[in-house]
Amino acid sequence: MFEGRLLQGSLLKKVLEAIKDLVTDTNFDCSETGIALQAMDSSHVALVSLLLKDTGFDHFRCDRNLALGINLQNMSKMLKCAGNDDIITLKAEDEGDTITFMFESPNQDKISDFEMKLMDIDSEHLGIPDTDYQAIVTMPSAEFQRIVRDLSSIGDTAVIGVTKEGISFSTGGDIGKANIVCRQNTNVDKEEDQTTVEIHEPVSLTFALRYLNSFTKATALSPQVTLSLSKELPIVVEYKIEKMGFLRFYLAPKIEE
Amino acid sequence: GVSQRSINSFFAPK
């Protein structure tokens, strides 16, 4: 059987909110090392990769590898019934066709069990090669969210450029143009407010803002976001999940024909 | 013009 008890249940709620509009159905791959998920959006432009390590759970048991086929909208409906401070336990039998979500209130005076039907999903896993990215930028996740949202009101695509000075986001549309530059800034008091640029070579790529906007639904998971870019490769937008792993989004660039 | 590439043109099936 599989069982995972997560003291900070809100993390799972946040993960679902971050991906439920991008991916419809996906397998949660459970093994003794944790829970992993990889799924493309329906247009096959973006890829989501989630890792929740066993060590981040208060209790974790997985006797044999299981692929739990889940409709994310339905799982989101179930998790919305958990309080933000609740402990969430996931349970599934090896041969079962359901998953149980148990919610425990912080002072243990309310215990809820929700059972959800699983589905059979043929999932195709893509191999993501280890890449030495030309540019890696870490910045406040709320700032990234703000920039992407602001640019979305002006254009459909953004050019993201990184030089040793910083990262720039540009767009254009019927009403005009916009360009935002965030400079490397390591002299701020709080580490989470820093913007750091690690660069081997300047890089500039074009992406659909609609997807970037969707990724920023993960902002609540982490105060910082890391953007990794290389010429003619998908951008990686990574939100680290404290003590547990990460939620990464890969987005294919738009490329000049 | 620019065209949107698909993600599986970069990452091959495992």
How close is the nearest chain A Cα to the Cα of B10, in Å? Answer: 7
What ipTM was estimated for this complex? 0.96
How close is the nearest chain A Cα to the Cα of B9, in Å? Answer: 9
Q: Which residues, numbered 1 to 14 in chain B, qualify as contacts with chain A under a Cβ-Cβ cut-off of 8 Å?
A: 1-14
User: What is the model's pLDDT at position A49?
Assistant: 98
Chain segment A190-217, per-residue pLDDT in tens: 999 999 999 999 999 999 999 999 999 9
How close is the nearest chain B Cα to the Cα of A47, in Å? Answer: 7
The band of B14, judged by pLDDT with boundaries at 50, 70 and 90, is confident
User: What is the model's pLDDT at position A257?
Assistant: 78
Q: How far apart are CA A183 and CA A121, in angstroms?
A: 44
Q: Do A257 and B13 touch (CB under 8 A)?
A: no
- Return the axis-axis angle of helices A72-79 and A10-19, rounded to nearest 10°: 150
How far CA A98 is from CA of A17, A62, A73, A94, B10, in Å, comes to 21, 16, 16, 10, 35
The band of A256, judged by pLDDT with boundaries at 50, 70 and 90, is confident
User: What is the model's pLDDT at position A123?
Assistant: 82
Q: Which residues of B touch A255 (CB under 8 A)?
A: 2-3, 5
Segment A29-54 mean pLDDT: 97
Q: How far apart are CA A120 and CA A22, in angstroms?
A: 19
Chain segment A110-121, per-residue pLDDT in tens: 999 999 999 999
